[in-house]
Amino acid sequence: MSAIKLGVPSKGRLMEQCFDWFAARGLTLKRTGSDREYAGAVEGAEAVELVLLSAGEIPRELAAGRIHLGVTGSDLVREKLADWQTQVADLAPMGFGHADLIIAVPACWSDVDTLEDLDAAAHAFRAAHGHRMRIATKYHRLLREFLAREGVADWQSVDSQGATEGTVKNLTAEAVADITSSGETLRANHLKILSDGMIHQSQATLFAARSADWAGLEAPFAVLCEQLGVAKPLL
Amino acid sequence: MASKAEARSIGQRLLAAFEAAGAVEVTPDILQPAEALLDLYGEDIRARAYVTADPLRGEMMLRPDFTVPVVQAHMAEGAEPARYAYMGEVFRKQDHRGAARVAEYFQAGYEVFDREDPEAADAEVFALFAKLLKPLALSATIGDIGLLRAAVEGLDTLPARKAALARHIWRPKRFHRLMERYAGLSPMPESRAALLAGARSDAPWIGLRTPEEMTARIAVLQADAATAPIAAEDVARLDALFALRCTADRAPAQLSDLGIAALAPAIARLERRLAALDARGIDLTALAFEASHGRATMEYYDGFVFSFETADPGFPPIASGGRYDALTRVLGGGREIPAVGGVIRPGLVADLGGLA
């Protein structure tokens, strides 16, 4: 018999909070086998199969329809999937894994607090240095869409997959667009958040894949949605 | 969707028509140097170019359009006046899904470099496109970024404010926010007020931007704060200009009625262009004029702009073009030549049933 494949993060606090969220709704998710083996089981629901995945891979697995449901950050879905609403349905925000995708600049820039300031500073910077103001990020799509919508010019993104807050001091970028929860790492690296630089407020979210094969799974999906207390989406 | 062979065949017919109109075919490389050229495009094309690394030539890109390489070739070796035509693929990454959103498509284009009579050249390009596209019964719209630039330049305020506004003509949201700021219609952010009152950060200086750059910007902000706001009636006139839409035959009178004195030379150019279009048989009473046409999408155009569209909103413009004098100045290293041109997408023409 086919089953609804549920993809959840395979390790760490995100996995534990995810297990807790389902447990509170009567579904016991657990890892099986040894600590290092990524196998899982579901108790308390018919026809649901657990798939443990890296949180970063879950958007792609949803888009490909290889899993039916998946838990991942709303930021990752927006960044990795073009026109994300056409590929996945947003079932429920889960209330954990909160992180804000923000734009931060050096705290020493007394004259820059808003996007209007950033745009003006970027224009003068380009004239003085011969290249656009560089913003280090791994969220290229979200940053580009945000700054295009806000009408900020004379910037370019540079790729940074880690230690992004250090790029300004290392002279490989002038500003950063990164996720933060407390802002402590930013402050430690002498950066400050633009007052209107909030790109996206992310949290762990349960998504359903539109392109997955739902044939024969409509009934168990309806039961599952009711058990989880979420509205069954049109897929 | 039409096959690539159909699109290519229509493209070849368009190319032949452009050559019959006096153009010489040019064939820019598909691989273009990325760093120097990408900087010339607006954010949109820049973000969508496919960039790759070449061991000998550094960063290269798949050409995202023809205009820049054609201008570059003309500035390097072209004689004047010149008419160029081209047909080939352009490549742009797509951020959105949808059948018409293809990453690789043909463009057939026609570009005129002629300093004798720019308005006649504008009319020549538009009328040629109108004749070729006639079987498709598209709706055409014209505009003129030069009017918007003249209106901004004519404002009675600081040169720094006018320069900031002119820079954002192509980004309507930022433009209007800046206008509200300069007109005193939006409250000053608290951080700006504190900065002007002398507040400074004691954080250690990091990064490539220098303290001198900050000092220079603070001086600009102080000069701005000491200047009277742009008059509310001037803001209203500009808003009326940006919102102006009418048929082309009525555009000069409607523009004059706005009462913006600085527009007079640009209106005279528009009248000459309209007379040249009329002389080429374009029905001005059936041609749409929109003052803001091309504002959000065509960054390197700085004068006349036009597009031909179908009623189906799922289609991008079938053809578009305009005047890009400033681009020739940037690429000409001190020299410049008035230039106007446009492209037709043969694949979309094929989708609509071909040229008949």
Nearest chain A residue (CA) to B171: A151
How much is the pTM?
0.89
Interface of B with A in 218-277 (CB under 8 A): 218, 220-221
Do residues A115 and A193 both lie within one domain? yes
Do residues A144 and A213 both lie within one domain? no
Chain A residue numbers with beta carbons less than 8 Å from the beta carbon of B300 are none
- The CATH number of the domain holding residue A131 is 3.40.190.10
With bands split at pLDDT 50, 70 and 90, how would you rate the model's confidence at A181?
Answer: confident
Does B207 lie at the interface with A, CB-CB under 8 angstroms?
A: yes
CATH level 2 (architecture), domain B4-150+237-352? 2-Layer Sandwich (3.30)
How close, in Å, is residue B273 to chain A by CA atoms? 31
CA proximity to B304, closest of B85, B108, B142, B167: B142
Q: What is the pLDDT of residue B298?
A: 66
**Which tokens sit at B63?**
């050409």
CA torsion sign, A149 to A154 to A157 to A162? negative
B149 by DSSP, 3-state: which? helix
Does B41 lie at the interface with A, CB-CB under 8 angstroms?
A: no
Do residues A144 and A157 both lie within one domain? yes
Do residues A208 and A94 both lie within one domain? yes
CA proximity to A88, closest of A100, A78, A103, A96: A78
How close, in Å, is residue A194 to chain B by CA atoms? 11
Task: Pick from A83, A88, A109 the residue to mutate for testing the B interface (most B CBs within 10 Å).
Answer: A109
Nearby residues of A178 by Cβ (< 8 Å), 6 or more positions away: A101, A102, A104, A136, A137, A138, A139, A160, A164, A165
Do residues A110 and A191 both lie within one domain? yes
Per the domain annotation, does A235 fall within a domain? no
Nearest chain B residue (CA) to A105: B207
Q: Read off the pLDDT of each residue in A180-195 and give the average, rounded to a whole number.
A: 93
| Residue pair A115/A232 in contact by the 8 Å Cβ criterion | no
Q: Is residue B285 marked as binding?
A: no
Does B167 lie at the interface with A, CB-CB under 8 angstroms?
A: yes
Query: Model ipTM?
Result: 0.88
Q: Is residue B107 marked as binding?
A: yes
Number of domains in chain A: 2
| Residue pair A109/A191 in contact by the 8 Å Cβ criterion | no
Q: What is the pLDDT of residue B199?
A: 96
Residue type, B196: L
Contact assignment for A110 to B199 by CB distance below 8 Å: yes
In angstroms, the CA B230 to CA B308 distance is: 37
Do residues A130 and A207 both lie within one domain? no
Among B47, B173, B203, beta carbon nearest to A108: B203
Do residues A22 and A80 both lie within one domain? yes
Do residues A79 and A194 both lie within one domain? no
Q: Read off the pLDDT of each residue in A6-25 and give the average, rounded to a whole number.
A: 94
DSSP-assigned beta bridge partners for residue B15: none
| Residue pair B153/B264 in contact by the 8 Å Cβ criterion | no
Q: What is the pLDDT of residue B304?
A: 96
Among A110, A147, A190, beta carbon nearest to B214: A110
Instruction: Classify residue B327 by burial, with Cβ atoms within 10 Å: 0-12, 13-18, 19+.
Output: buried
Q: What is the pLDDT of residue B259?
A: 94
Per the domain annotation, does A234 fall within a domain? no
Element (H, E) at B18: helix B4-20
Q: Where are the domains of chain B?
A: 4-150+237-352, 157-199+212-230
Q: How many Cβ atoms sit within 10 Å of the Cβ of residue A46?
A: 13
The residue ranking higher by pLDDT, B335 or A139, is A139
Q: What is the pLDDT of residue B189?
A: 94
Q: pLDDT digit string (tens) for A86-121? A: 999 999 999 999 999 999 999 999 999 999 999 999
Intervals of chain B under pLDDT 70: 42-43, 99-100, 298-299
Count each helix (H run) and each strand (E run) in chain A, helices first.
8, 12
B289 by DSSP, 3-state: which? strand
Do residues A212 and A127 both lie within one domain? no
Q: Is A98 left (phi over 0), alpha (psi -120 to 50) or beta?
A: beta
Per the domain annotation, does A32 fall within a domain? yes
Relative to beta strand A133-137, strand A155-159 is parallel
Q: pLDDT digit string (tens) for B217-244? A: 999 999 999 999 999 999 999 999 999 9
Q: pLDDT digit string (tens) for A42-77? A: 888 888 999 999 988 999 999 999 999 999 999 999
Does B135 lie at the interface with A, CB-CB under 8 angstroms?
A: no
Q: pLDDT digit string (tens) for B110-155? A: 999 999 999 999 999 999 999 999 999 999 999 999 999 999 999 9
Residue A1 clears pLDDT 60, i.e. is over it: no
How close, in Å, is residue B212 to chain A by CA atoms? 11
Per the domain annotation, does A68 fall within a domain? yes
Residue A31 clears pLDDT 90, i.e. is over it: no
How close, in Å, is residue B198 to chain A by CA atoms? 10
CA angle B275, B276, B279 (to 5 degrees): 85
Least confident range of A75-89, A140-154, B44-58: B44-58
Strands (E), A10-74: 28-32, 39-43, 48-53, 69-73
In angstroms, the CA A197 to CA A220 distance is: 42
Q: Is A84 left (phi over 0), alpha (psi -120 to 50) or beta?
A: alpha
Q: Which domain holds residue A109?
A: 99-202
| Residue pair B44/B297 in contact by the 8 Å Cβ criterion | yes
Do residues A74 and A8 both lie within one domain? yes
Do residues A133 and A58 both lie within one domain? no
Least confident range of A37-41, A189-193, B87-91, B175-179: A37-41
Q: What is the pLDDT of residue B334?
A: 78
**Which tokens sit at B24?**
């010489």
Q: What is the pLDDT of residue B100?
A: 64
Do residues A83 and A147 both lie within one domain? no
Q: What is the pLDDT of residue B335?
A: 84
CA proximity to B43, closest of B171, B231, B177, B213: B171
Burial call B228-239: b when 16+ CB within 10 Å, e when fewer: eebeeebbebbe
Chain A residue numbers with beta carbons less than 8 Å from the beta carbon of B95 are 82, 141, 145
3-state secondary structure B120-134: HHHHHHHHHHHHHHH
| Residue pair B109/B344 in contact by the 8 Å Cβ criterion | yes
